[in-house]
Amino acid sequence: MPSSTKYIFVTGGVTSSLGKGIIAASLAKLLQARGYSVTIQKLDPYINVDPGTLNPYEHGECFVTDDGAETDLDLGHYERFLNVSTSQANNVTTGRIYQYVINKEREGAYLGKTVQVIPHITDEIKRRIKLLGNTGKYDIVITEIGGTVGDIESLPYVEAVRQLKWEPNFDCIVLHLTLVPYLAASGELKTKPTQHSVKQLLESGVQPDILALRTEHKLTEGVKEKVALFCNIAPKAVIQAIDANTIYDVPNLMKAEGLDTIVLDKLSLPYKENPTLTAWNEVLSKIKNPTHKTTIGLVGKYIELKDSYKSIAEALIHAGAQNDTKVTIKWIHSEAITNENSAEKLSNLDGILVAPGFGERGIEGKISTIKFARENNIPFFGICLGMQAAVIEFARNVLNHTDAHSTEMDANTTNPVIYLMEEQRTVTEKGGTMRLGAYPCSILENSNVFEAYVEKNISERHRHRYEFNNKYKEEFEAAGMKATGINPDNNLVEIVEIENHPWFVGVQFHPEYKSTVINPHPLFVNFIKASTLVTEQKMQTASN
Residue 285 φ/ψ, nearest 5 degrees: -65, -35
Of 392, 328, 401, nearest in space to 365 by CA: 392
Region near ligand GLN per CB under 6 A, out of 22-30, 141-149, 460-468, 496-504? 460-468
Residue 358 near ligand GLN by CB under 6 A: yes
Residue 509 near ligand GLN by CB under 6 A: no
Of 182, 232, 214, nearest in space to 10 by CA: 214
Residue 463 near ligand GLN by CB under 6 A: yes
Residue 385 near ligand GLN by CB under 6 A: yes
Q: Is 267 left (phi over 0), alpha (psi -120 to 50) or beta?
A: alpha
The nearer residue to ligand GLN, 36 or 466, going by C-beta atoms, is 466
Q: Which of 19, 51, 133, 356 binds ligand GLN (CB under 6 A)?
A: 356
Shortest Cβ 392–ligand GLN spacing (Å): 12
Residue 61 near ligand GLN by CB under 6 A: no
Apex 498 CA angle, 538 and 528, nearest 5: 40
Q: Which member of 79, 384, 401, 408 is catalytic?
A: 384
The nearer residue to ligand GLN, 327 or 436, going by C-beta atoms, is 436
Q: Which member of 120, 464, 510, 521 is catalytic?
A: 510
Active site residue 510: yes
Beta carbons of 227 and 191 less than 8 angstroms apart: yes
The nearer residue to ligand GLN, 302 or 358, going by C-beta atoms, is 358
Region near ligand GLN per CB under 6 A, out of 277-285, 292-300, 342-350, 464-472? 464-472
Q: How many helices (H) and strands (E) does the chain have?
A: 18, 23
The nearer residue to ligand GLN, 120 or 514, going by C-beta atoms, is 514
Amino acid at 510: H
Residue 354 near ligand GLN by CB under 6 A: no
The nearer residue to ligand GLN, 234 or 411, going by C-beta atoms, is 411
Of 479, 162, 165, 503, nearest in space to 350 by CA: 503
Region near ligand GLN per CB under 6 A, out of 134-142, 156-164, 323-331, 461-469? 461-469
366/372 Cα distance (integer angstroms): 10
88/225 Cα distance (integer angstroms): 41
Residue 465 near ligand GLN by CB under 6 A: yes
Residue 366 near ligand GLN by CB under 6 A: no
Residue 405 near ligand GLN by CB under 6 A: no
Cα dist from 407 to 59, 367, 392, 411, 486, whole Å: 27, 15, 11, 4, 21
Beta carbons within 8 Å of 103's beta carbon, 6+ residues apart: none
Residue 363 near ligand GLN by CB under 6 A: no
Residue 22 near ligand GLN by CB under 6 A: no
**What is the full DSSP assignment across 427-455?**
----TT-SEEEEEEEEE-SSSHHHHHH--
277/83 Cα distance (integer angstroms): 13
Site for ligand GLN in 249-278 (CB under 6 A): none
Residue 357 near ligand GLN by CB under 6 A: yes
Q: How far is CA 380 from the centre of its chain?
A: 22
Apex 86 CA angle, 80 and 91, nearest 5: 110
DSSP 8-state symbol, 273: S
The nearer residue to ligand GLN, 275 or 356, going by C-beta atoms, is 356
Residue 372 near ligand GLN by CB under 6 A: no
Residues designated as active site: 384, 510, 512
* Contact residues for ligand GLN, defined by CB under 6 A: 356-358, 384-385, 408, 463-466
